[in-house]
Each structure stands twice: as C-alpha cells, then as structure tokens.
Amino acid sequence: MPSLQLAELDRALDLLSGRPLVALTGAGLSTDSGIPDYRGPGSPARRPMTYGDFVSGPAAQRRYWARSHVGWARMRRAAPNPGHHALAALESAGVLRGLITQNVDGLHTEAGSRAVIDLHGRIADVICLSCKEISPRAALQERFEQANPGFAESVGPEIETAPDGDVLLEATDGFRLVGCTTCGGPLKPDVVFFGENVPKERVLASYALVDGLVGGGALLVAGSSLAVMSGLRFVKHAEKHGVPVVIVNRGETRGDPHATLRVDGGCSEVLSALAATRPGRVMEP
C-alpha cells in the first residue's frame, strides 16, 4: 500500500479505536468474493432492471429470470472474503454494534455476522407479487431447471456476471417461467429493485443504529460509492448528529463531503487491519 494510503489507514485506525461502530457496506466489499461491483474502478456501465420494468409483464420477467437462472448458479458458490470475516470478528469482540448492508448476497450472515440489516433484501429469497408468500430461491432454481433443461449449461462461461446475481445474457426468449406454487402468481426476487422503496422498518432500524452512535461512536462505510440515497442518507444523518464517518473504498464516493476521512483502499485489507487492532476497551456513546 502506498505511503499516502498507509497514512490514511493509520489515521482511520486511530479515529476508530476505542469507539463502538456501525458498518454500512456496499458491493465493493464483495468483489474479493468474485461478485462484481456496479461502479468500482474499471466496472463497465450496466443498467440493472428497474421495478417498473419487472412488473411490466411476462416479457421483462422472462428476461430477468433467464439471466438470474444462470447467474444464481455462479453467485451461490461465492464465499465470504477477509472483509466479511473481519466485520464478523469485530461484532464478536463487541466493537461492531450493527451492520447495514446494501448487498443482497447474504455473505455477511454466512461469515458469522448476526446483527445485520439487509437493507435491499436477499437474493436467496423469492416473493410472490400476488399472495406475497416468501420461498427459497434454491427451490425455484430446481423448478427452473426442470422447466428449462440444459438452459444454464448452454450459456458459455464468458458471459459476464452482474452484481445482483444475474448475467448479461441477450437470448432469453425461449426461457419458460414458473409461477408461485401457492397461487400461480408471478415471482420476484425478494430484493429492492431500482425504483422500488426500501421497506420502512429497515430504514427506521438503520437510523436507530446510527442514532446509537451519538456521543462517542463512529460509522464505518465499506465498499460503497454511496451513489444512491439508499445508503447516503445514513452518512448524512451521522454527520448531522456529530458522528464521525470513515469511508473505505477504492475511488471517490458521493459521501466524501460528509465524511471525516476516506481511506482509498480495498476492504479486505483495511478491515482486516482494523479487526487485528481489536480495541481492548470500547467506550459507550
């Protein structure tokens, strides 16, 4: 790590030491697990499907589920990386009081974190748009395989995977949809699409975590460009209430003007260094 970044890291460790923390994480944290970022350096421009697109009818749903059918097989093989494990270790040590993630991959929970708010939901769950029943994505994968034998295998490995668990596949017309096993209604991944609102209870719970830092804690942002208000609002809320904000990200973020410090570096490296310091005493806010 260049000397400038080492200096930033040292400043971040000094600032965070002895404080209770809340983490806000984004797609940049999962890149070391093989899941690409939307906006990281070198990432190609992508237009994810919006909620309006998805609910427009079977054609859009077929396009989404065909891509997701292929992408899911790849995404479910992803494993937590050192950044995920570092945050779990900080929680176990009593340093990290809660974790708000914009990711839908479920890797924080797999790494051992328990106080997790999945702000945008989890790709491992599916919801029926008609009866609202929630079911496992793995079961849907088996039904898709039965309805579309050989489809996933027919797609070459050169097809790029997207951060939300699908692939950039164009030929989807022949893919057969399956409906809810209870009512036959259309199925949607239980995640927040662009253009869809984050459930109010998750937002309120996230604000409450940040409020609990007032008077001595700090907000740690890891791997998020904070390009959308979904995550940026918590950074602004922390700043408004005098809570220090440390951002760890490769490249500038929309939250930089509201942050106390940004470390330009990889999440695995920086968070592992933070976990290794293991503050002996965490003061109460």
250 assigned ligand-binding residue: yes
Last residue of one domain, picked from the residues 139, 172, 191? 191
Q: Does 218 lie in the same domain as 102?
A: yes
79 assigned ligand-binding residue: no
Q: Does 150 lie in the same domain as 225?
A: no
Q: Does 215 lie in the same domain as 99?
A: yes
189 assigned ligand-binding residue: no
30 assigned ligand-binding residue: yes
41 assigned ligand-binding residue: yes
Is 208 in contact with 223 (CB distance < 8 Å)?
no
The model's pLDDT over 38-84, given as tens digits with 9 standing for 90+, comes to 554 454 455 678 999 999 999 999 989 988 888 887 778 899 999 99
The lowest-confidence range among 30-34, 47-51, 128-132, 153-157 is 153-157
Cite the beta strand spans of the chain per DSSP E. 21-25, 96-101, 116-118, 121-128, 134-136, 187-191, 218-222, 245-248, 261-263
Is 66 in contact with 73 (CB distance < 8 Å)?
no
Q: Does 130 lie in the same domain as 3?
A: no
Q: Does 210 lie in the same domain as 88?
A: yes
| Lookup: tokens for 258 | 């509201």
Q: What is the pLDDT of residue 192?
A: 95
CA distances from 135 to 11, 56, 99, 126 (A): 45, 22, 24, 5
Q: Which domain range does residue 134 map to?
A: 43-77+124-191
Q: What is the pLDDT of residue 282?
A: 46
CA distances from 209 to 57, 97, 152, 204, 218 (A): 38, 8, 41, 9, 11
Last residue of one domain, picked from the residues 191, 216, 234? 191
Q: Does 275 lie in the same domain as 207?
A: yes
**Residue 200 to residue 50: CA distance in whole angstroms:** 19
How many domains are there within the chain?
Answer: 2
**What's 217's domain CATH number?**
3.40.50.1220
Across 89-95, average pLDDT: 94
CA distances from 98 to 54, 125, 244, 250 (A): 32, 22, 16, 23
Q: Does 210 lie in the same domain as 284?
A: yes
List the catalytic residues.
Answer: 120
**What's 155's domain CATH number?**
3.30.1600
Q: Does 273 lie in the same domain as 219?
A: yes
Q: Does 159 lie in the same domain as 115?
A: no
Q: Does 228 lie in the same domain as 183?
A: no
Last residue of one domain, picked from the residues 157, 191, 225? 191
The model's pLDDT over 112-144, given as tens digits with 9 standing for 90+, comes to 999 999 999 999 999 999 999 999 999 999 999
Across 172-192, average pLDDT: 93
Q: Does 274 lie in the same domain as 216?
A: yes
Q: Which residue did the predictor score with more confidence, 194 or 280?
A: 194
Q: Does 115 lie in the same domain as 166?
A: no
Q: How confident is the model at residue 165 (pLDDT cuts 50, 70, 90)?
A: low
Q: Quick one: CA dihedral 162, 163, 166, 170, positive or negative?
A: negative
**Residue 101 to residue 192: CA distance in whole angstroms:** 12
